[in-house]
Structure formats: structure tokens, C-alpha cells
Copies of this chain bind each other. A is one copy, B any other.
């Protein structure tokens, strides 16, 4: 047998800048033109962003080819939306010299990011997140994806943005439920990485809920620092990056089992409580810790218990389909204390016996 070895060279190190401000949306287009002059721009957004006036604030009277996802939200996060975006880009005769500008919440970022990752084998993307969840989480770190009929983010790619722009003023148009659910990812960041941040969130919750821009900028910056440093350490999710998955293993299953009646952040709140119950079962918790976490989530008015229409059996089946499952059972991220993830043999995602998970689901 003849053998021929093909070497793949290392890819060069790179990076991107996250810019945070208040009422900056109207100033961004000239900056994007200056930074990405050689690219044809293509905007992806959704109907609620258009209705909120954000799209007009961004592009003004400029004639930019734009795809508006409709209906907005998780139901459009599928491959048929991606196909429509790809074909719209083709019909605008766009090539690899395209910059996709994703303006919107988590769904817009995930769908537009994935479309950019696969359009003609990959074009660049800039994220302008407009919701609390997207500003805290999904716009940073390069994860993109859409759901299949079987599970969430079954299709996806790691596709790092060329830049991220966060205008905290855009969240002023969010309804209260979306706004509050999106803050769960901020609580998660504090739980896994920084107890001072957890203290800050507890102390400033009223100002955050009143959407005070200076506090929201501070929160956004804290989120970017935490998520950014984790992504830098492990962009392809080999180990450390998994800590961002705290509360998500059961959270994703709860979200799917609710038929997406629960928002992502709401399902993750339940998942965070589940993680806390697993920690208690495994003797990893100190007195009062789960109560403290439960209290801040309750103040956000997000659910901390399974809704009655979600069946445990469905959950177990969905948990087995977890992306990070090894031999059809996922590993779990747990904490040693607030601000510090529990590690076992250097691993940040650890084995939890199915019996413990079953027991916790019963009590959830």
C-alpha cells in the first residue's frame, strides 16, 4: 500500500474586538465601512428588530441587501431559514468578499453566524446583539448553529466573528420577560467564574432591572471579560470552555421538552437549579449556596422548578442526545463554590451517575 502524507499548517492566531456603549447603533455603519471597506455587506435581522426601529437606526437610508427572519425567535432557527439566507445572498450575486452583519437576538446571531460559516465555505460576520441573552452570551465566542427536528444546534460550526458591537440601549425595547430571561446567562457567568461579579449582580439587581445604561454597560463588560477569557483559553471546546455549559445540559433538555414554550434563559435557570441539586447529592455544596442562587433567580422572575407539562422521561431521552455526550451520556459542569468550577482529574465536565440525575429530575 502506497502512503502519502498531507500536512495541514497551523492557522495563524487572530482575534476580534467587542465594543460596548450606549446609543451607539446610529454611529456604527460608518465604522463598519471603515473597518471592512473591501467587503460587500449583507444584513441579517428579524421582524421584531425591524419593528423596534433598530435596523433603521443602523443602516439609515442606505440601500443594503437585507434578510429579515420572520417569525422572529427559536421557531425560525432551522435549516430552511439558513437556506433562504444563502439563496438571498446568491441572488444578490455576493461572493466570498461578503461581510454578514447580524443585528438581533440569539436566534439572529446563531442563524446568521451559521449562514456565514457555510456560505461558499465561509465568509466573515459581525455581530450586533440587541438582547440581554445575545449581549451576554451568544454573540461572543463563535458558536453558531440551528436546530433540527430532533434537537437544538444539531447543525452548527465554530465561526468566530470579525467584530462585536454591543449597544446596551437596544435592550430598552425588549419585553420584560425576554429581558429578565436573558440575564440568567450573566448569573451563570458569575456562578462559574467570579464571586465578586455575583455580589455585584445581587447588589445592583434593581438598577439592572430598571435598565440603567451605566450598570448595563458594566454588566456587558463583565460578561465579555469572563466569556472572552474562557473562549481564548479553549476556542474549540476541548475542555475549559465547557464550563460555559453550566446549567445547560439539563437546561437544553428542559427547553426542548417544553416545546420551546420556555425561553432559553428560563430553561437554563431550571438547569442551574438542577446542577445545584446534583452538587448537593454529590456532597459538593456548602450550606446556603443553592438558596442564594435560587434567590437571585427568583428575583429575576424566572422559573426555578420544572413546569408540570414537562415529562421526566422526555428529559432523560433529550439529555442522552447532548452534543458533548460520550457513549450516549453527557458529562456535567458543577461548581466547587460560587465563582469556581469543580474539577476532576483536570476535567471541567465530570461524570454523574444516571441514578443521581434521575433522582434530581424527580425533585426538580
Q: Judging by beta carbons under 8 Å apart, are A21 and B4 in contact?
A: no
| Residue in B closest to A146 when the chains form the complex, CB atoms | B118
One of A41-49, A284-292, A301-309, A318-326 at the interface: A318-326
Q: Judging by beta carbons under 8 Å apart, are A5 and B21 in contact?
A: no
Collect the chain B residues with CB atoms within 8 Å of residue A237's CB.
Answer: 121
**Smallest CB separation, A89 vs chain B (Å):** 8
**Ranked 10 nearest A-B pairs via Cβ:** A95-B325, A1-B21, A121-B156, A2-B20, A90-B150, A6-B228, A10-B13, A120-B323, A7-B15, A4-B224
**Smallest CB separation, A177 vs chain B (Å):** 28
- How many of chain A's residues have a CB under 8 angstroms from any CB in B? 78
**Smallest CB separation, A225 vs chain B (Å):** 6
| Residue in B closest to A161 when the chains form the complex, CB atoms | B6
Q: Judging by beta carbons under 8 Å apart, are B121 and A145 in contact?
A: yes
**Smallest CB separation, A86 vs chain B (Å):** 5
Considering the complex, which residues of chain A in the window 1-33 have a beta carbon less than 8 Å from any beta carbon of chain B? 1-21, 24
Q: Judging by beta carbons under 8 Å apart, are A231 and B6 in contact?
A: yes
Q: Judging by beta carbons under 8 Å apart, are B4 and A228 in contact?
A: yes
Q: Judging by beta carbons under 8 Å apart, are B93 and A150 in contact?
A: no
CA gap between A168 and B145 in the complex, in Å: 38
21 contacts between A and B (CB under 8 A): A1-B19, A2-B21, A5-B18, A5-B228, A6-B228, A7-B232, A8-B15, A8-B16, A8-B235, A9-B232, A9-B235, A10-B11, A79-B82, A87-B149, A90-B148, A93-B321, A95-B322, A95-B324, A96-B325, A118-B155, A121-B158
